[in-house]
Amino acid sequence: MEYVLQTKSLKKRYGNYKALSGLTMSVPKGSIYGFVGKNGAGKTTLIRLICGLQEPTEGEFSIYGIGNKEKEIAKSRRRMGAVVETPSIYLGMTAEDNLKEQYRVLGMPSFEGIAHVLKLVGLEHTGKKKAKDFSLGMRQRLGIAIALAGDPDFLILDEPVNGLDPQGIVEVRELILKLNQEYGITVLISSHILDELAKLATYFGFIDSGHMVKEISAPELEAACRKCIRITVSSTKILSQVLDETRLEYTILSEKEAHIFGEISVTELTLKLSEHGCEVHSMQERDESLEHYYIDLVGGGKHA
Residue 290 CA to chain centroid, in angstroms? Answer: 11
- For 128, other C-beta atoms within 10 Å of its C-beta total 8
pLDDT score, position 234:
95
pLDDT score, position 38:
84
Strand order in the sheet with 280-287: 249-252, 257-261, 227-233, 280-287
pLDDT score, position 287:
66
Consecutive 10-residue averages of pLDDT for the chain (304 residues): 95 94 97 91 93 95 96 93 87 96 91 93 94 94 94 94 89 94 96 85 94 93 81 94 88 90 87 94 80 76 37
The 3-state secondary structure of 164-225, one letter per residue: CCHHHHHHHHHHHHHHHHHHCCEEEEEECCHHHHHCCCCEEEEEECCEEEEEEEHHHHHHHC
pLDDT score, position 183:
94
What's the length of the chain? 304
pLDDT score, position 304:
30
Is 152 within 8 Å of 137 (Cβ atoms)?
no
pLDDT score, position 301:
41
Which pTM does this prediction carry? 0.80
